[in-house]
Amino acid sequence: MKNILVLCTGNSCRSQIAHGYLAHFAANKANVYSAGIETHGVNPRAVAIMIQDGIDIARHTSNHVDEYLGKVDFDFIITVCDHANENCPFIPAPNAVRLHRNFSDPSKLKTKDEQEIHEAFQATREEIKAYCKVFVRGHLLTEEVS
């Protein structure tokens, strides 16, 4: 069983979405954890956009990366925003494959238009979903991920 850590700034949106998809696509092939270099609570819009795709992340918690240091031996560490990639503390995991992909943060959209906000969350969700499918297919599974 592989251990995967997904890191973001506040562990509220992008890392939570990735956590949900990685756990879904990897099934029993991996333990998935997510954390932030800060904790901002799980974004309710992230929960809602994932429910629309059939994945429930409502029970996820916003965790600080320090909670896992020295407790879990990670095989993969994935940063999903530039800020976390540049500011994350050292994680002692000498054998971990470290990957980075900057996804847009829909919670930072400067509008009050609910349709635009929804579309931003949906676009980020779809981008993260595609990335997670490719990651799981390439690193954990030999069969096709649907």
Residues identified as active-site: 8, 81, 88
> Reduced to 3 states, what is the DSSP secondary structure of residue 36?
strand
> Reduced to 3 states, what is the DSSP secondary structure of residue 60?
coil
In single-letter form, the type of residue at position 35 comes to A
Rounded Cα–Cα distance for residues 116 and 113 (Å): 5
Rounded Cα–Cα distance for residues 90 and 97 (Å): 14
